[in-house]
Amino acid sequence: MTTEAPAAPGVHDAQQRFDAMIAADERIEPRDWMPDGYRRTLIRQIAQHAHSEIIGMQPEGNWITRAPSLKRKAVLIAKVQDEAGHGLYLYSAAETLGVSREELLDLLHEGRQRYSSIFNYPTLTWADVGAIGWLVDGAAITNQVPLCRCSYGPYARAMVRICKEESFHQRQGFDALYVLARGAEAQRRMAQDAVDRWYWPSLMMFGPPDTESAHSEQSMAWNIKRFSNDELRQRFVDIIVPQAEALGLTLPDPDIAWNAERGHYDFGTPDWDEFKQVLKGSGPCNRQRLEHRRKAHADGAWVREAAQAHAAKQAARRAAGDREAA
Ligand code: BYC
């Protein structure tokens, strides 16, 4: 008697299986069937996230040579290196979806994929490094901790390590600002000025208001996003208001007030026109960031070529060794 292998499940069955896995809050892995839209959404989001990590090295990298002490310099170098590492984990996660890192970098360099709006603002003083750590990394953690439970396995797993490292980044930023806020009057003013400039852009990191968020509903249905943009923005404000008090600095938002009925802080509305301009490429540093990235990529071509030549030589040696042993 011969037994026939079961027919490959049709797309309909595969879709049902996928839907059931999402409903049961299970992880989707690279070899599982997934709808095209799910794959496209993940590639878009993970690539945007990876690009943000490597572009995000620039504003802070700007202060490595001018960090005020050896300790601050060492900490900043470690942080900027961490961002490069995050980029690598995320490009690897994106590659499991069938795209290559080269393709994604080309899309970034051609301006066809986005990176976070936040990195189009300049770092004018040393206090900006503190404000980025406290507010930008703080916003990133608020957004990214729920991504550790994202339905796509490789992205969720990458986020676990990234979030641990982001916590260290946030603490170093808070610490740098804390020291400045308690220093000379000029240092305190510098810390306040940095917070004044980074507060609103950090609220914009969470994306447009829910009413204008094109992807949230579908991404939440797929368990990619666990909370909406506005929910996470609110969570972030609730965290930073008491932290600002502990720092002795004020947030440049006259609408911040505790709302006992809601159990949350009320806060003002970011300038969404400015956000749209930054997304269109007209932020203060868009052009500079992309030009620097393209140049860094071109300057690094010899490293990639040398690594490939080395790998080819090793492979040829291994093959020759195998032939001799045979
Ligand atoms: N900037 O439908 P929506 C870091 C776009 S790195 C630019 O709500 P979604 C760090 C969005 O792409 C932190 N674009 O989108 C690194 C969409 O455009 P398209 C980076 C934005 O995806 C170094 C359109 O607006 N974090 O922490 O559902 C040093 C409509 O938006 C932004 C991540 O990438 C923005 N802020 O939600 C220090 C987290 N917001 O594609 C620190 C992962 C929205 O339709 N990403 N857009 O043309 C996410 O969680 C989500 O993608 C977002 C947006 C919440 C950002």
In a domain, 6, yes or no: no
Tokens at 153, concatenated: 């396995």
* Weakest mean pLDDT among 7-11, 82-86, 94-98, 114-118: 7-11
Ligand 1 closest atom vs CA 52: 6
Tell me which residue of 63, 215, 59, 232 sits closest to 145, measured CA to CA. 232
Residue nearest to atom 47 of ligand 1 (CA): 207
Claim to verify: residue 290 and residue 202 sit in the same structural domain: no
Cα of 204 from ligand 1 centre, angstroms: 9
**Is 114 found in the same domain as 226?**
yes
Q: Residue 4's pLDDT is what?
A: 47
Name residues contacting ligand 1 (CB within 6 A): 44-45, 48-49, 52-53, 56, 83, 114, 116-117, 136-137, 140, 143, 204-208, 213-216, 219, 225, 229, 279
Q: Whose CA is nearest to atom 23 of ligand 1?
A: 56
Question: Measured in angstroms, how far is the CA atom of residue 46 from the centroid of ligand 1?
Answer: 9
229: domain CATH number? 1.20.1260.10
**What mean pLDDT is reported for the chain?**
96
Same domain, residue pair 72 and 126: yes
Q: pLDDT over 70 for what percent of the chain?
A: 97
Tell me: pLDDT of 322 over 90. Answer: no
What pLDDT is recorded for position 323? Answer: 84
Q: Whose CA is nearest to atom 41 of ligand 1?
A: 44
Q: How far is the CA of 96 from the centre of ligand 1 (A)?
A: 20
> Which of the listed residues 213, 280, 285, 293 should we mutate to test ligand 1's pocket, taking the one with most ligand atoms within 8 A of CB?
213
Which residues have C-beta within 8 Å of that of residue 34, sequence separation ≥ 6?
18, 28
| Residue 205 Cα to ligand 1 middle (Å) | 7
How far apart CA 84 and CA 133 sit, in angstroms, is 16
Same domain? For 193 and 214 the reply is yes
Closest residue by Cα to atom 11, ligand 1, is 207
Same domain, 182 and 288: no
Instruction: Using the 3D structure, point to which of 247, 271, 295 is the last residue of a domain.
Output: 271
- What does the block give as tokens for 314? 């090793």
Query: How remote is the CA of residue 262 from the centroid of ligand 1, in Å?
Result: 27
Q: What are phi and psi of 248, to 5 degrees?
A: 80, 25
Q: How many domains are contained in the chain?
A: 2
User: Does residue 38 sit in the same domain as residue 174?
Assistant: yes
Contact 172, 79 (CB under 8 A): yes
The per-residue pLDDT for range 175-207, each reduced to its tens digit, is 999 999 999 999 999 999 999 999 999 999 999
pLDDT surpassing 50 at residue 236: yes
Which pLDDT tens digit goes with each residue over 130-169? Answer: 999 999 999 999 999 999 999 999 999 999 999 999 999 9
Which of 240, 271, 302 is the last residue in one of the domains? 271
Q: Does residue 266 surpass a pLDDT of 50?
A: yes
Residue 2 covered by a domain: no
In a domain, 7, yes or no: no
- Atom 34 in ligand 1: which residue has the minimum CA distance? 49
Over range 228-251, report the average pLDDT: 98
pTM of the predicted model as reported, rounded to 2 decimal places: 0.94
What is residue 218's predicted lDDT score, i.e. its pLDDT?
97
Q: Which atom of ligand 1 is nearest to the CA of 55?
A: 23
Residues 98 and 183 both lie in one domain: yes
- In a shared domain, residues 311 and 226: no
Separation of CA 208 and ligand 1 centre (Å): 9
User: What's the pLDDT tens digit per position in 2-42?
Assistant: 444 555 558 889 999 999 999 999 999 999 999 999 999 99
Evaluate whether residue 171 is within a structural domain. Answer: yes
Q: Can you give the three-state secondary structure of the chain, one letter per residue?
A: CCCCCCCCCCHHHHHHHHHHHHHCCCCECCCCCCCHHHHHHHHHHHHHHHHHHHHCHHHHHCCHHHCCCHHHHHHHHHHHHHHHHHHHHHHHHHHCCCCCHHHHHHHHHCCCCCCCHHHHCCCCCCHHHHHHHHHHHHHHHHHHCHHHHCCEHHHHHHHHHHHHHHHHHHHHHHHHHHHHHCCCHHHHHHHHHHHHHHHHHHHHCCCCCHHHCCCHHHHHHCCCCCCCHHHHHHHHHHHHHHHHHHHCCCCCCCCCEEECCCCEEECCCCCHHHHHHHHHCCCCCHHHHHHHHHHHHHHCHHHHHHHHHHHHHHHHHHHHHHHHHC
- pLDDT value for 326: 77
Would you tell me how many other CB atoms lie within 10 Å of the CB of residue 25? 9
Instruction: Return the residue whose CA atom lies nearest to atom 33 of ligand 1.
Output: 49
pLDDT value of residue 3: 47
Residue identifier of the C-alpha nearest atom 32 of ligand 1: 207
Cα of 115 from ligand 1 centre, angstroms: 7
Residue 1 confidence (pLDDT): 42
Q: Are residues 213 and 117 in the same domain?
A: yes
For residue 81, give Cα distances in angstroms to 40, 69, 303, 310.
29, 18, 18, 24
Looking at the domain assignment, is residue 32 inside a domain? yes
Per the structure, the complete domain to which residue 290 belongs is given by: 284-325
180 part of a folded domain = yes
- 267: in domain: yes
Q: pLDDT digits over 274-319, tens only?
A: 999 999 999 999 999 999 999 999 999 999 999 999 999 999 999 9
User: What is the CA(303)–ligand 1 centre distance, in A?
Assistant: 30
Q: What is the predicted pLDDT for the residue at 2?
A: 43
Q: How far is the CA of 18 from the centre of ligand 1 (A)?
A: 25
Q: Of the candidates 229, 245, 271, which is a domain's last residue?
A: 271
Give the per-residue pLDDT at 6.
53
Ligand 1 atom with least separation from CA of 48: 34
pLDDT of 293-305, one tens digit each?
999 999 999 999 9
Same domain, 225 and 299: no
For the segment 73-93, the average pLDDT, to the nearest whole number, is 97
3 assigned to some structural domain? no
Are 62 and 189 in a shared domain? Answer: yes
Residue 201 CA to ligand 1 center (angstroms) comes to 13
- Domain match, 213 and 314 both: no
